[in-house]
Structure 1
C-alpha cells in the first residue's frame, strides 16, 4: 500500500507541475529535499542480525524468487543457495549490486564480477543454506578452462603493471572537458539567442553527440561498478550522468543491461535487448521469428527508428521498470521508496534545466524549442543505438534461443551446451582495435568482447587486455569476431537486417555448441 501511495503521489506531483508552470521554480528545492530525505532513509537501513541459518534446504526457483529484498535476500550461485541478508551492508561491491541479484540465479554475475579472486567464493560458505533444485532458465556448461585462463592472464598483467582494474582517473580526466563542452553547447543551442536557427542546429548536433558520450563513458562504467572501488562512486557518477543530466534511470539501466543483456547475450527469450516473442515485433533479428511482409524493408526503416531510443528511454523506465516492475523477461526486484523519490526528483530536475530554463526563463519560443529538442534527441538516439546494434546485431554474431515452450512452469534442470564465456565471444563483435578516436567516440564498445568478459574493468583498459584475450582464443580455437573498422561493423549490421527480412530465410536457431 505504501508503494502504491508513493507512485500516485509522484504522478500527482508531475501532473501538478505541468498544470501549474509556476511550480517549476521550486523543482531544484524539491530535488534537494527529495535527495536529502532519500539519504536519510538510506541511513535508517538496519543491519540485520546474523541468525542461525537453516541448512540443507531444497529450493525451487519460484521459492528463491520470494527472497528478493533487504528483509530476506537469497542468491543462487552454481546450484547453491546463500542467505546474504546479513551480508548486504558489508558486501564490498555494495548493497545495491547485491540486492539487484537477489531472488535469482546470480552465477553469471558472480563469475563475471569476481574474475580475479577466489576469496568471494570462500567468504560465501558461511551463508550457505542449501541447493537450488530447479532454475527458471537453462544453465550454461561449466567453464572448460577458457575463461579462467583469460582471467588469470589479465590478472597477472594488471599485477605486473600495478594497475587498478577499476581506476577512476582516466574516466574523470575525460569527463571534465566532456561536461564543459556539453553544457556550453547546450547554452549555445537553447539559451543564447544570438545564433540563427541553422547555427543552432549545427551546434545542437554536437550537443546531441556529447549527450550520448556522457552515457557511453563515465555512466556506463559506473553502472558496472568499474569506477573506483566504492559503491558511492558508482551511484554518484552513474546517477549524476544518467538520471540528472540525461533524464533516464540508472536503476532501470542496470536491470535491463547488467541483469538481462550481459548475462544472456543474444538469447531470444532471455536478453531484453532482442525480440522476446516469435511474432509481433517491429524487427526480425532471429531466425525463429515468424516472417511478415514489413520485414522486407526493415533494413530501411529500422535505422530511422533508432533515433527514437533516447526519447523512449525517458518514459520506458517510469512505466515499465518503476510501475510494472518488469523489463521483458527480467524480473525487477522491489524498488525502495527512496529510489522512487530519486526517480521523480531527477526527472523533474531534468525537465527544469532542459525545458523550463530555455522556454520559461530565457524566452525561447515553443516551436523552436521543440524542434531543436527533438532533433538533438534523435542525434543522441542514433549515436547510442548504432553503437549498440553493430556490437551484437550482426551477420558476424550468433543468436541463440531460450525455448520457453520446453521449460515447464515449475522450472528446468536443462543445460545449454555452451559455456557462458564462449557465448560472449560468439555473440559480440569488435572493430577498430588500436584506433583511439573510434574507441573514444563509442565509449570503448568497439572492444565489446572484452567488455562482456570483464564488465567490472574500466573501459580505458580494454585496449591493453584485448591482445591477451585474443591469444587465449587462438589457443582454444575460438573465433574472435574482430572487424577492421566501423564501416565493416555497420555493413554487418545492415546485412543482418536485410537477410532476416527475406521471406525464404531459414527458420531456426544457431545451435549452442
Structure 2
C-alpha cells in the first residue's frame, strides 16, 4: 500500500505544490534520490541539462525534480529504445534503495502491452485525428454560442447549457493537457475555474499514475467532504445530501485558494487566471446588474464543475474497483493496477459522440496507461489490450459495464460507507 502524505485531508484549499514537495520528500526517503536529480527504475539521472531539449517541454521535468518518475517515464513514452538511449547519457549512479510503487518487469503485462502499443504507433499517428480537430471547432463554437445567448437573454437555462458545453471544453482541454505544454488548447480548462497549470500536478502527475491510492490528489483532496480512500469519515451520514452541491463549488474553492496564495506571495499571478474574470465582465457588460451577472456566471461555472467531478469519480470510485481498504488485492504490475482502479463503459459509443457525452472517458483504461495518445485514437488500440490480457490469461479482470451500472455501484459505495 502506498503511504499517505502529511497534507492529506487539507489539500482542497492548499497549493498543489505542497503535494509535490511532500511526494519528493517521500521519494527521497524511499530511494535516496537527490533533490536536484530524478529517479527512474532503480537508477539516478541528472536531467538538468536536458530540460530545454525535452520534446514534452521542461515543465513536467521541473515539477518532478527530486522524485521517482518511473510511472511517468513509461506512460508518456512509447518509443522506449529511443528514450532509454537519451536517458543513458544522463546516468549518474544506482539508487541507494530500490523501492518502487509498481513493478515494470520487462516480461510483465504492462511492459508487454507497452511494446505492442509502441509498435502499433511506430507507423501510425498518435496525435489528434481530423475528427478531433473538427470536434474542437464544434465545441468552441457551441460554448461561444451558448455563452453569447446567456449574455443576450440573461437566461439561467442558457447558462446551464453553456455550463454543459464548458464541461465538454474541459474534456478537450484534458486531452491536450497530456500532449505537452506547447498545446494551446490546454487553456480551454481555464474557461472553468480549474487552472490547467495546477491540473498538470493534481491530474497529469498525481491522479494519472497513482489512481485510487493514498497519493491520488483528486481522491484525497476532497476529504472530509467525500468518501475516498478512508473507510469512514465523521460526517459521512449526510454525504448523499450535500455531495453534489460540494462538487458544484469545488472549482470555485480552488480558484479562491489560488487567489489567497497569490496574495500571500506563495504563487505568482498567471495571465490565464484572469480568463474567468473576463467571462464575468462580459456577462456584466450585457446585463449591467452585478448580482444577476454573478448568478449567471456561477450557474455556468458550478454546473460545469459538478459534471467535471461527478462523472470521473463514478468511473473510479465504485464497488467494482480497488481503493485502499477494499477487499481487492492490488497488483504490483502497473497495467493491471490501472485496470483494477479504472472502469470502461459503453464502449460501443465511439468518438466524437463520447466526447460530448462522457469527455471520452468511457474509454478510460487505455488513456490512463498511455495518456499522450490522443483520445480519438484510443479505440484503435483496444484490440491490443484485449489480446494481451488473453495472452496473460487475464481476460476476467477487464469487465464491461454500462454507465447506469457504474452510477448505481458508485451510489451504493457512498451509501454503505456513509
TM-score range, shorter chain: 0.7 to 0.9
Matching of residue 140 in structure 1 with residue 102 in structure 2: yes
Shift of 1:248: 3.4
Query: Alpha-carbon deviations, 1:338-367, whole Å to 9, x = none?
Result: xx34x2x22234312x122222x3343223
Which residue does 2:47 correspond to in 1?
84
Q: Deviations over 1:274-320 (max 9, x none)?
A: 2379xx7122233x44443x323323332332222332342344556
Cα deviation code 1:53-106 (max 9, x no counterpart): xxxxxx866964531xxxxxx211011111111111111222222222221011
Give how far 1:322 is off.
10
Structure 1 distance, partners of 2:246, 2:345, is: 24
Paired with 1:132 and 1:322, the residues of 2 have a C-alpha distance of 40
Asked whether the equivalents of residues 323 and 341 of structure 2 are also in contact (C-alpha less than 8 Å), the reply is: yes
CA contact (8 A) 1:397 1:481 kept: no
- Give the distance between the partners of 1:224 and 1:207, measured in 2 at CA: 25
Greater displacement, 421-430 / 148-157: 148-157
Measure, in 2, the Cα distance between the counterparts of 1:76 and 1:319. Answer: 33
2:35 paired residue number: 66
Q: SS of 1:141's equivalent?
A: coil
Alignment partner, residue 216 of structure 1: 171
| C-alpha contact 2:193 2:251 (8 A) present in aligned 1 | no
- In 1, Cα distance between equivalents of 2:335 and 2:277: 41
Q: Shift of the alpha carbon at 1:155?
A: 3.1
Contact 1:395 1:496 in 2 (8 A): yes
Match of 1:274 among 200, 219, 224: 219
User: How large is the Cα RMSD of the aligned pairs?
Assistant: 2.7
Q: Are the counterparts in 1 of residues 146 and 162 from structure 2 also a CA contact under 8 Å?
A: yes
Q: Report if the CA contact (8 A) 1:428-1:481 is conserved.
A: no
Q: Which has the higher strand share?
A: 1
2:126 aligned to which of 165, 180, 186: 165
| TM superposition score normalised by structure 2 | 0.83
- Find the aligned partners of 2:33 and 2:317 in 1 and give their Cα distance: 33
Deviations 1:17-56 (A, max 9, x none): xxxxxxxxxxxxxxxxxxxxxxxxxxxxxxxxxxxxxxxx
Conservation of the 8 A alpha-carbon contact between 1:424 and 1:453: yes
**Counterpart of 1:284?**
227
1:398 deviates by 0.5
1:241 correspondence with 2:182: no
Q: Is 2:108–2:333's contact at 8 Å kept on the other side of the alignment?
A: no
Residues in 2 aligned to 1:492 and 1:323: alpha-carbon distance in whole angstroms: 42
Deviation at 1:386, TM superposition (A): 1.8
Distance 1:321 1:432 in 2: 43
The verdict on how the C-alpha distance between 1:490 and 1:316 changes in structure 2, with shifts beyond 3 A counting, is farther
Q: 304-313 or 418-427, which moves further after superposition?
A: 304-313
| 2:137 is the counterpart of 1:176 | yes
| Aligned pair partner of 2:362 in 441, 446, 454 | 446
Q: Distance in 2 between matches of 1:395 and 1:182?
A: 35
Distance (Å, rounded) in 1 between the aligned partners of 2:108 and 2:361: 26
Aligned to 2:7: none
Instruction: In structure 1, list runs of 5 or more residues that go unmatched.
Output: 1-58, 68-73, 326-334, 402-415, 502-513
Q: Distance in 2 between matches of 1:291 and 1:496?
A: 14
Tell me which residue corresponds to 2:236. Answer: 295
Q: Deviations over 1:230-257 (max 9, x none)?
A: x52x2x221x3123x3343222001111
**Aligned partner (choices 268, 272, 283) of residue 358 of structure 1:** 283
Map 1:118-133 → 2, pairs under 5 A: 118-133=81-96
1:114 aligns with 2:77: yes
Counterpart in 2 of 1:24? none
Q: How far 1:117 moved relative to its partner?
A: 2.9
Tell me: CA distance 1:372–1:65, structure 2 relative to 1, closer, same or farther (3 Å).
farther
Aligned residue in 2 for 1:308: 249
Q: 2:207·2:218 contact (CA, 8 Å) conserved in 1?
A: yes
> Which structure 2 residue ranges, 5 or more long, are not aligned?
1-27
Residue 142 of structure 1: how far off its partner (Å): 3.2
Determine helix, strand or coil for the equivalent of 2:44: strand
Shift of 1:321: 9.7
Say whether 1:435 aligns with 2:349.
Answer: yes
Equivalent pairs, count: 383
Tell me the distance in 2 between the aligned counterparts of 1:259 and 1:62.
19
Q: What CA distance in whole angstroms lies between the structure 2 residues aligned with 1:484 and 1:267?
A: 22
SS at match of 2:93: strand
Question: Do structure 1's residue 376 and structure 2's residue 329 form an aligned pair?
Answer: no
Q: Distance in 1 between matches of 2:263 and 2:322?
A: 32
SS at match of 1:310: helix
CA shift in 2, pair 1:123/1:158, >3 Å: closer
CA pair 462-482 structure 1, distance change in 2 beyond 3 A? farther
Task: Determine the structure 1 residue equivalent to 2:374.
Answer: 458
Residues 417 and 176 (structure 1 numbering): CA distance in 2 closer, same or farther, change over 3 Å? closer
Q: Which structure 1 residue ranges, 4+ long, deviate > 4 Å from structure 2?
A: 59-63, 317-325
Distance 1:391 1:322 in 2: 37
> Distance in 1 between the 2:309 and 2:39 partners?
33
CA distance in 1, matches of 2:138, 2:199: 25
Say which SS state the counterpart of residue 219 (structure 2) adopts. Answer: coil
Q: Residues 483 and 489 of structure 1 are in contact (CA less than 8 Å); yes or no, is this contact kept in structure 2?
A: no
